[in-house]
Each structure stands twice: as structure tokens, then as C-alpha cells.
Amino acid sequence: MPEYEYIETELADRIQTITLTNEASLNALNTTLREELEDALLRAEDDDEVRVVVLTGAGRAFSSGYDFGEEGTKTMDDLIKSSYTHLDTIYNLNLPVIAAVDGYALAGGCNLALVCDLTIATERSEFGFPDVHMGELPPRLILPYVTDSLKHARELLYGGKHISADTAEKMGLINRVVEDEDALWDAVEEEVSHIKKTPSSVVKLLKDTLNDIQETQGYRSNSAGQIDEFLFAVTSETETAHRFHEIVEEEGVNAAIEWMNTAEKD
């Protein structure tokens, strides 16, 4: 593996662990990090020694979502040409990917946790899509395809609220909740031990088959056609979205997030 700026990789016991290390911004998914993540995932897929990929985040968050602090406000043209292929890379990867969540998994970070094949979280973890408060849709709608009920998807997407790991488990978003970081890694190792007993070719076939089921529900028609990404681009032109980005430029990201989470919008 090459040296990366925003992620660290470690291969041990046939497990490729990828850690997001952009701690200063709670592992916000800036452009470089997303590119590095894709590269690390594809390299893991090409390595016959790797049976499972584990994705986690350093510090207080798994990931806080996309990086609003990146220089420059993107135009709609930029957004339409942008590609959030890191999620599709995980979805299409021949290897199973386990998200080990300890802390915030919000907005794009929530999508990242949910697109993984398995998601295990500590009790202190929180999930949700607060970015809807800024007037923009998520660039990929994964939630409706993993939750037990469209009622839950509506609740989280309409309200943009944070939910606890316990609530996320009850809604079907994640597989298991454990007490703390030590228990998290014990749980990950337990799941990996079971996966290793299944031939890698069978795991690939099973993943492809289960993906087919998800695609019959409409996931692929949206993602392949980039419909949700185009809707994300369109909603970036709303009055609320413009105001959010104005506050980012004038007062900083923290002020914009405070406004996003507290101000009522028309």
C-alpha cells in the first residue's frame, strides 16, 4: 500500500483495515480522502491475501460527512460532473466490507457506514442525515434500501435528526451494538472468523446475489443513472443551500452547521 494523506492501512491475519485519519474535521470526506479510500479498496480487492476489509475512523468519529470546508463553492456544473464513486466501490467490491463505527456517522459518513456489508457500532455512536437541514439531498440515497421500514427512512430524512446506535439497530440500519471500542474489535474479529470459513468465491457470489435483490428494489436504477446525484446538484441551488454556503464563507463551517441545525426554514 502507498502512503496516504488522510487514511491509514494495515494488513494482518488476512484483514485489510482502512482507517480514516482526517481527525481535525471528524474524518470529513474531502475529495482527496475519497480518492485515497477508493484506491485502498481496489488494492485490497487485487490482493489475494485479503479476505475482509474493515473500515473505521480515528478519534471521535467514524465520519462527519462531506467536507464543507474545502476551498471554493462548487457550481451546479461542478456537482453534476462530480462522482461519489467511493460508495459504489464498496458496494461492488468482491470482498465483504465491515464498518466498525465508534462515534459520529453522520450525513455522508452515515451513508458510508450503511453501504458496507456489515455495520457494527459502539453505544456512543450516532447516526443520521442532518445535512438535509441545509437544503441539500444526500448525493446517494442508501438509507431506504437498508432500513426495515420506509417509515424509518422518512423519519430520518425529513427530520434530519441524530439517532443512537441502539435506535439504529432497532431500525435495521446496523447489525450490532457493543459497549465500547474494545468490544467493537472483538465483535469485528468474531464476524471475520465466521466469514473466513466460507470460501471467498462463495462470499463473492452471495454478495452479487444480495446486491441483485437490492437492485430489484430500485437501488441500481438510481445510482447507475446518477439520479440521486443530479437531485443533489439541483438542491444545491436552493435558497437555503446558498445561505448555508454564504455562512461558511463569512463565518466558518461551525457557524454554518449551528445555523443549519437550529434555524427554521421555509
pLDDT in tens, 123-178: 999 999 998 888 877 777 899 999 999 999 999 999 999 999 999 999 999 999 99
Report residue 95's pLDDT band, with 50, 70 and 90 as the boundaries.
very high
Listed range (88-92, 176-180, 237-241) with the worst mean pLDDT: 237-241
Provide the H-helix boundaries in the chain.
Answer: 31-46, 76-81, 85-92, 108-115, 150-159, 165-170, 181-195, 200-216, 219-224, 227-235, 239-251, 253-262
* Cβ contact 133:265 at 8 Å: yes
Grid cell in block for residue 60: 471521535
pLDDT at residue 220, rounded to an integer: 64
pLDDT tens, residue by residue, 163-192: 999 999 999 999 999 999 999 999 999 999
Confidence check: pLDDT of 45 > 90: yes
* Cβ contact 134:140 at 8 Å: no
pLDDT at residue 67, rounded to an integer: 83
